[in-house]
Amino acid sequence: MVNETQHTCSASSTSKSDGGSSSGSESSKDSSRCSTPVLDADRHERLREKMRRRQDSGDKWFSLEFFPPRTANAAVNLISRFDRMGVGGPLFIDVTWHPAGDPGSDKETSSMIIANTAVNYCGLETILHMTCCNQTKDDITGHLQKAKRLGLKNIMALRGDPAGEEWEEEVDGFNYAVDLVKHIRNEFDDYFDICVAGYPTGHPEAESYEADLRHLKEKVFAGADFIITQLFFRSETFLKFMKDCQAIGITCPIIPGIFPIQGYHSLRQLVKLSKLEVPQEIKDVIEPIKDNDAAIRNYGVELAVSMCRELLDSGMVHGLHFYTLNREVATTEVLKRLGIWKEDPRRPLPWAVSAHPKRRVEDVRPIFWASRPKSYIYRTQEWDDFPNGRWGNSSSPAFGELKDYYLFYLKSKSPREELLKMWGEELTGEESVFEVFTCYITGEPNKNGHKVTCMPWNDDPLATETNLLKEQLEKVNRRGILTINSQPNINGKPSTDPIVGWGPSGGYVFQKAYLEFFTSSEIVTALLKVLKKYELRVNYHIVNVKGQNITNAPDLQPNAVTWGIFPGREIIQPTVVDPVSFLSWKDEAFALWIEQWAKLYEEESPSRMIIQYIHDNYYLVNLVDNDFPLENCLWQVVDDTFELLN
Amino acid sequence: MVNETQHTCSASSTSKSDGGSSSGSESSKDSSRCSTPVLDADRHERLREKMRRRQDSGDKWFSLEFFPPRTANAAVNLISRFDRMGVGGPLFIDVTWHPAGDPGSDKETSSMIIANTAVNYCGLETILHMTCCNQTKDDITGHLQKAKRLGLKNIMALRGDPAGEEWEEEVDGFNYAVDLVKHIRNEFDDYFDICVAGYPTGHPEAESYEADLRHLKEKVFAGADFIITQLFFRSETFLKFMKDCQAIGITCPIIPGIFPIQGYHSLRQLVKLSKLEVPQEIKDVIEPIKDNDAAIRNYGVELAVSMCRELLDSGMVHGLHFYTLNREVATTEVLKRLGIWKEDPRRPLPWAVSAHPKRRVEDVRPIFWASRPKSYIYRTQEWDDFPNGRWGNSSSPAFGELKDYYLFYLKSKSPREELLKMWGEELTGEESVFEVFTCYITGEPNKNGHKVTCMPWNDDPLATETNLLKEQLEKVNRRGILTINSQPNINGKPSTDPIVGWGPSGGYVFQKAYLEFFTSSEIVTALLKVLKKYELRVNYHIVNVKGQNITNAPDLQPNAVTWGIFPGREIIQPTVVDPVSFLSWKDEAFALWIEQWAKLYEEESPSRMIIQYIHDNYYLVNLVDNDFPLENCLWQVVDDTFELLN
């Protein structure tokens, strides 16, 4: 009946707690606690631990492979794809490495920068591929150091294709993947999780299947944590390979690489590169339909689903690795049919987390960047530590400048022509700006028949949560209260609520009503008079582009506006309205008028001057209704303001 | 209309927030924030700032003077008096210094230790008197260093009475209070707030009233922050003195010393010591009633009230200092009649705060010590820093041992005979222990007709909040669930609620239901079976004196059980159930059976063996119902347990 408790957080705290004899000052240095309530073990574990935990729990998983894009536009699309496919809950993604493409550079399209974006901005656990053949030790160490600095924690160690036909082993050089594995372990100790490649039918250049197995064992014994295999066409191929590996003492996880056939040409090309043989039964099906892409894809999905089912049913396979070819449809379809695509992914926090290890404890952010999480991550990337528990406990929030609004992960996903259609080829006055905001809220087409699906402050359509406020938002935007952020008040909904829920199940989430908007100085004058009546209930912050600001925040303290209470845990308050950070956000929010909107038009053009006028003269306002258990009073505040103006 | 915001928290954050250009790592060292949401400015200001704020706001205040007790028993009584009179909201108390009584020693009755107790254990802003005459510089510096170490922040600098008639000035010695003021400022810079004495009719030994005023000015210019006056009998005396002070350039606060006449003999003695003349009109009243204490006290109260009214009505006086003579009734009565006794003091947090400056940010504690706050403060006195925001963010909680359960501020207020009457002269079995617990809960007399007003774990009668649970508690104690701590669940009551409210007004407070009790291993066995049904809802921790423990706390994380949401502030969660600290509390909770209860009886006596048996065999259990919005399920858990046993 009586037993010792188990916990994963710290191996030392049980012994400590049993003692309790020493008085605090000596032992207070070595904390035995997690600083953050463990809401989501995924944020605290390394990849190999996650794999082990999934294996132990019997929870099947998948991962996704991508290659770096060729153009900046393709990069923007790929990042959107990361976001969309991230929703399905991959255990990790990986980004391939092509020596010819300057993979370690700072270019928007390099493997390094794409992997950096996946981990930091999309919050995905990411493996960066790296090849070693024909490279110097210094180059490789440099790449690894850079990867570490960017927050990458996992490397797929590969040999790569030797340049030229006349390749020979270099003495003391990097001739095989095993050399890279050893180098990583020598230089970086246990920092990285290392993955290596396995060849279910043997590497095409290996002397034999058996010799290749021995090479694989060498790589594992040199320090690799797990294996991802080359693609194959029959589940028996993989299962035999796996048994052969186990027979010679390879015990680490071996993840089958799955290639859903998506088209005739891509299949041919892949087969050529990998020197694999396509089984006759597959050729027989494909050849007759080789010009019908849809038919081939349907067949590919069918084939992949049945092979994956066989693998999973074998009991030997816990995760599946997908060669996506940077495409979405076929892989998503296979995953959905297998039932391992998370239809309703639980949000650990109400905002998009970053997977950089130094942000592991981060659990508070200002609400202002709610629709621009990538900008927030970018502007705080230099911070040494991140707010945990309370915003006010953190150091002074110094936000980095957004020097280049066209940095590809901060850029609008839509091209200029598209934006002009949405936001107006020609503006005729402030009212035509009101109209754009209103159309964005309602989802109705503008007068030229185009739907407004994004705004400079929101790159995506209205959030489901904001939809709850649609009717009121429409009304106020029509009259020049140009809303850019809002949330309804919530008085204790289950943490599993599909719209406002977040965090582990069994908890309750709360919100204070929030409204943020641009508006004219006339409306601000009236608003301030009205706010006097609400002094004890509503906190406000009103600022113009010059930084003149008015607030009733006590002692410039942050105001928690989202919080959650969970079983057996301390309280989490992930979102605050912070009057100090608001001044940094103000710079960004005002600059977006110019950078994203005004610059669509010719200099000196009337349209540009209208936006410039708003930028120069409007105020940015945020309002919080502190009485979250009562009906949201912010709409009444706005109504009173308009009434006063009439 | 547009203006810059004001805030007191930090002078530098406005400029910082305007910049926002530097990236975090450089500037992250100098935090410009208060780490704790400012719930109660009193915790963050020094005494002179508090005085200034009260003066600015027109909020009248009072302070109380005490002398150190002669015996340890008197010390226990004095500390209870601090707690009771602290409820009225004094701005500070002060403790006098008598060189003959070894005032700087570690004795329970020394001025130093009494002042230490007031500031640390009773949470009172405290001034320690100190005299300098006939003392060496090293002695004085030693006393001041000790005072600082104990968390005392204010000194009343006095000359003291020279020993012997033949006193002469010593060259470079401490001859006058001004020497002490200078010494404090030289050696301790601005650390201490310094108070000096003023004599409304001139010091008896001064050459003249005018010469004495000049001495006072010297003391102020040497660095004193404010003045408390000697007692006087007419308001005109004080008001004239104050004007005379101002005329010669003394601008610091001058606080009138009020002496409510409480008896004929104490008045005569005081007059003799202070060499003051009692006005004839007062003598005329007192002489005829000199043997009627009650009549004299009534007259004294009357007189003090009308004099205080005159002072306050003059507009020159913002605070009143009371010479209490360590008595409660007269001073309290005067204060109540003046309307400056706080009838309903607001609790800044749901537990008793300490006024040690290093505990200023403390805002989380384990619930276990709810009824033993002095023990908690004692056991954590060596900590370097205190949990703020989250318990889990703090360092490993190493609790100091309670080596001597008879340390006077941890001792029961009741004498042994009283305890025997309450807890039983002779116990006949475990049931007679159940009976004691039950009588404590119900407030009904025990079978010998004595009410049980305290328990080893609760030195005071049942808290008002616990009274809400009285009926259920009675039922379970009768059956051997011996409760020592509990709270009901609260789903958002106003922070001003008279029973469960705390913190600033306009907020909402919440609680999870909590129940802590000792019980037998038979009941624990059944309880554990029942708890399986409640696994997702109820967190439990069950431990015996040997430290065998069973818990379902995830990762040994703390569970927040009290929290508050306030306008414009981050969330406060002042109470947690922490599984690690519970093991330290367990030692204390079990030891109290022996130290406070078993030791009342002879060794080997049946009564003592019954308590020893319980100590050795019972378990200490805590239960939290995480579903605070639903009806408390813990009573159902207990009912199910008894049902299973039957």
Residue A20 lies in a domain: no
- What 3 state SS string does B192-208 have? CEEEEEECCCCCCCCCC
Structure confidence at residue A397 as a pLDDT band (50, 70, 90): low
Does B13 contact A549 at a Cβ distance shorter than 8 Å?
Answer: no
Instruction: Supply the DSSP symbol for B639.
Output: H
Q: Is residue A98 predicted with pLDDT exceeding 60? A: yes
Q: pLDDT higher for B65 or A44? A: B65
Mean pLDDT of A260-273: 87
Q: Is residue A409 predicted with pLDDT exceeding 60? A: yes
Does A383 contact B24 at a Cβ distance shorter than 8 Å?
Answer: yes
Q: So what's the pLDDT on residue B8?
A: 32
Residues of A in contact with B568 (CB under 8 A): 539, 552-554, 557, 559, 624, 626
Of A16-20, A62-66, A402-406, B83-87, which one has max mean pLDDT?
A62-66
Q: Which of A43, A365, A393 would best serve as a mutation to test chain B binding (most B beta carbons within 10 A)?
A: A393
Q: Total structural domains in chain B? A: 2
How far apart CA B340 and CA B334 sit, in angstroms, is 9
Structure confidence at residue B85 as a pLDDT band (50, 70, 90): very high
Q: Is residue B165 predicted with pLDDT exceeding 60? A: no
Q: Residue A289 belongs to a domain with what CATH number? A: 3.20.20.220
Residue B39 lies in a domain: no
Q: So what's the pLDDT on residue B9?
A: 34
How far apart CA B632 and CA B641 sit, in angstroms, is 16
Give the tens place of pLDDT for each residue, B129-140. Answer: 999 988 899 999
How many Cβ atoms are within 10 Å of A480's Cβ, its own excluded?
Answer: 20
- Helices A235-247, A293-313: axis angle to 10 degrees equals 40
Residue B143 lies in a domain: yes
Q: Are residues B435 and B512 in the same domain?
A: yes
- 453-512 in chain A: CB under 8 A from chain B: 491-492, 506, 508, 510
* Nearest CB to B392; choose among A35, A550, A557: A35
* Nearest CB to A392; choose among B16, B37, B382: B37
Q: Are residues A201 and A253 in the same domain?
A: yes
Structure confidence at residue B345 as a pLDDT band (50, 70, 90): low
Domain C-terminal end among A320, A338, A356? A338
Mean pLDDT score of chain A, rounded to an integer?
89
Q: Are residues A326 and A377 in the same domain?
A: no
Give the tens place of pLDDT for each residue, B358-379. Answer: 998 899 999 999 999 999 999 9
How far apart CA B524 and CA B642 sit, in angstroms, is 11
3-state secondary structure of A61: strand
Domain C-terminal end among A322, A338, A354? A338
Alpha helices in B249-372 (DSSP H): 264-274, 280-286, 293-313, 329-338
Residue B71 lies in a domain: yes
Residue B21 lies in a domain: no
Give the tens place of pLDDT for each residue, A104-115. Answer: 999 989 999 999
Residue A66 backbone zone (phi > 0: left; psi -120 to 50: alpha; other: beta): beta
Give the tens place of pLDDT for each residue, B181-203. Answer: 999 999 999 999 999 999 999 88
How far apart CA A523 and CA A644 sit, in angstroms, is 9
Q: Are residues B515 and B375 in the same domain?
A: yes
How far apart CA A102 and CA B165 sit, in angstroms, is 96
Q: So what's the pLDDT on residue A339?
A: 95
| Domain region containing B530 | 365-644
Q: Are residues A383 and A500 in the same domain?
A: yes
Lowest mean pLDDT among B168-182, B231-245, B567-581: B168-182
Q: Are residues B330 and B387 in the same domain?
A: no
- 536-565 in chain A: CB under 8 A from chain B: 536-537, 539, 544, 547-560, 563, 565
Catalytic member of A45, A49, A65, A603: A65
How many Cβ atoms are within 10 Å of A465's Cβ, its own excluded?
Answer: 17
Q: Is residue A1 predicted with pLDDT exceeding 50? A: no
Q: Are residues A504 and A615 in the same domain?
A: yes
Per the DSSP assignment, residues forming a β-bridge with B542 are B550, B621
**b (16+ CB within 10 A) / e for A354-371:** bbbbebbbbbbbbbbbbb
Mean pLDDT of A18-31: 35
Q: Are residues B372 and B272 in the same domain?
A: no
How far apart CA A618 and CA A520 sit, in angstroms, is 5
**Which two three-digit tokens encode residue B166?**
């033949």
Give the tens place of pLDDT for each residue, A544-561. Answer: 999 999 999 888 899 999
Q: Is residue A33 predicted with pLDDT exceeding 70? A: no
Does A395 contact B29 at a Cβ distance shorter than 8 Å?
Answer: yes
Q: Give backbone dihedrals phi and psi of B213, rounded to 5 degrees, phi first.
A: -60, -40
Q: pLDDT higher for A543 or B350? A: A543
Q: Is residue A60 predicted with pLDDT exceeding 70? A: yes
Mean pLDDT of B115-122: 95
The reported pTM is 0.88
Structure confidence at residue A38 as a pLDDT band (50, 70, 90): low
Q: So what's the pLDDT on residue B4?
A: 35
Mean pLDDT of B453-460: 92
Mean pLDDT score of chain B, rounded to an integer?
89
In chain A, the residue whose alpha carbon lies closest to the alpha carbon of B14 is A580
Q: Are residues A441 and A581 in the same domain?
A: yes
Give the tens place of pLDDT for each residue, B210-268. Answer: 999 999 999 999 999 999 999 999 999 999 999 999 999 999 999 999 999 998 888 88
Instruction: Supply the DSSP symbol for B458.
Output: B
Interface check B72 vs A, CB under 8 A: no
* Nearest CB to A28; choose among B14, B396, B566: B396
Q: Is residue A19 predicted with pLDDT exceeding 80? A: no
3-state secondary structure of B152: coil
Q: So what's the pLDDT on residue A276?
A: 87
Q: So what's the pLDDT on residue A273?
A: 82
Q: Is residue B1 predicted with pLDDT exceeding 70? A: no
Q: Are residues A194 and A334 in the same domain?
A: yes
Q: So what's the pLDDT on residue B18?
A: 35
Q: Is residue B27 predicted with pLDDT exceeding 70? A: no
Catalytic member of B26, B45, B65, B417: B65
Domain C-terminal end among B297, B320, B338? B338
Q: So what's the pLDDT on residue B301?
A: 96
Q: Is residue B387 predicted with pLDDT exceeding 70? A: yes
Lowest mean pLDDT among B104-118, B159-173, B466-480: B159-173
Query: Is-catalytic flag, A65?
Result: yes
Residues B115 and B76 sit within 8 Å (Cβ to Cβ): no
Mean pLDDT of A152-160: 96
Give the tens place of pLDDT for each residue, A568-597. Answer: 999 999 999 999 999 999 999 999 999 999
Q: So what's the pLDDT on residue B275?
A: 84
Give the total residue count for chain A: 646
Give the total residue count for chain B: 646
Residue B31 lies in a domain: no
Q: Are residues A430 and A566 in the same domain?
A: yes
Mean pLDDT of B619-631: 98
Q: So what's the pLDDT on residue A326?
A: 95
Give the tens place of pLDDT for each residue, A247-260. Answer: 999 999 999 999 99
Structure confidence at residue B25 as a pLDDT band (50, 70, 90): very low
Lowest mean pLDDT among A121-125, B401-405, B441-445, B503-507: B401-405
Per the DSSP assignment, residues forming a β-bridge with B559 are B577
How far apart CA B543 and CA B558 sit, in angstroms, is 16
Q: pLDDT higher for B7 or B480? A: B480
Residue B569 lies in a domain: yes
Give the tens place of pLDDT for each residue, A172-192. Answer: 778 899 999 999 999 999 999
Closest CA to A348 of A367, A363, A330: A363
Interface check B208 vs A, CB under 8 A: no
Mean pLDDT of B277-304: 92
ipTM at complex level: 0.87
Q: So what's the pLDDT on residue B29?
A: 34
Per the DSSP assignment, residues forming a β-bridge with B486 are B515
Mean pLDDT of B528-540: 95
Closest CA to B557 of A28, A575, A39: A39
Residue B13 lies in a domain: no
* Nearest CB to A20; choose among B5, B16, B587: B587
Q: Are residues B293 and B373 in the same domain?
A: no
CA angle at residue B368 from B485 to B38, to 5 degrees? Answer: 110
